[in-house]
């Protein structure tokens, strides 16, 4: 400690291999691009091949090293294939950034058990499967690793119509804590979550109308005075993937602009 080289390396993810799920979404694509611009080799995955190709093309044009593979993070065989692809393409896997998500808001009396289960599979089971096979790969390498899991502010706050989503994200937060107990001491794999509130995407754009009651109600509980942009989460995602977070594991990190504080 005490020199600039130490600090530069502390926050560096240069030449690390990062797997980013949900890479076609607003948050996933921002994290993938952020990792790529920081010098990581990025594997993009999601279910839409055309969109994956578009994100990969943008990243390559910006000078990033990346590749993509189609797959569903809730399907075990797909996850095995994705992790193997990461190793085959870039030689190893150092960072898992799980940025995918799904919701179908409905009251408990209106939502079928099958639809509730689909939310649980997409948002909770998928994290278990990804963590399992990513951890196995990282353990074989013997170098430790980082898992950065996108959860939600709703993991600790109920909401009408969100019985599936809140339950799944609450499970993710507790899973992150348990994964840290399983993986950090023995294998040097740090596991943490980012818990955002509303951030801009195609699905949430309507909430960003500054004249709307929805926007005004949000601002009453957000001290930073605005809703989130995908770029707001890139710094935290890089920090949790770098050596700067080596002493942090099992944490659920607020990325809500202060929403949890109010």
Active site residues: 165
Contact 104, 164 (CB under 8 A): yes
What is the 8-class DSSP label of residue 208?
Answer: G
From the centroid of its chain, how far is CA 238?
11
Which residues are CB-neighbours of 109 under 8 A, at least 6 positions away? none
Q: Where are the beta strands (DSSP E) in 151-218?
A: 189-196
Q: Are 1 and 9 in contact (CB under 8 A)?
A: no
Q: Are strands 41-46 and 65-70 parallel, antiparallel or unpaired?
A: parallel
Helix (H, G, I), strand (E, B) or coil at 204: coil
């Amino acid at each position: 400690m005490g020199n600039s080289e130490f600090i530069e390396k502390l926050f560096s993810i240069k030449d690390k291999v990062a797997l980013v799920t949900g890479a076609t979404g607003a948050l996933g694509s921002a994290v993938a691009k952020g990792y790529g611009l920081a010098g990581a080799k990025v594997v993009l995955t999601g279910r839409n091949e055309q969109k994956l190709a578009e994100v990969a093309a943008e990243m390559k044009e910006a000078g990033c090293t990346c590749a993509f593979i189609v797959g569903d993070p809730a399907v075990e065989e797909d996850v095995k294939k994705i992790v193997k692809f990461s190793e085959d393409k870039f030689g190893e896997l150092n960072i898992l950034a799980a940025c995918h998500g799904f919701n179908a808001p409905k009251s408990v009396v209106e939502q079928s058990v099958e639809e509730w289960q689909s939310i649980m599979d997409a948002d909770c089971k998928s994290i278990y499967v990804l963590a399992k096979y990513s951890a196995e790969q990282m353990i074989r390498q013997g170098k430790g690793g980082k898992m950065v899991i996108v959860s939600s502010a709703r993991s600790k706050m109920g909401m009408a119509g969100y019985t599936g989503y809140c339950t799944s994200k609450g499970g993710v937060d507790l899973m992150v804590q348990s994964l840290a107990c399983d993986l950090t001491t023995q294998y040097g794999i740090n596991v943490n979550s980012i818990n955002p509130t509303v951030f801009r995407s195609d699905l949430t754009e309507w909430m960003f109308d500054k004249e709307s009651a929805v926007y005004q109600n949000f601002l009453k509980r957000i001290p930073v005075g605005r809703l989130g942009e995908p770029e707001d989460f890139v710094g935290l995602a890089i920090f949790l993937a770098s050596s700067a977070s080596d002493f942090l594991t099992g944490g659920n990190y607020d990325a809500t602009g202060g929403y949890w504080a109010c």
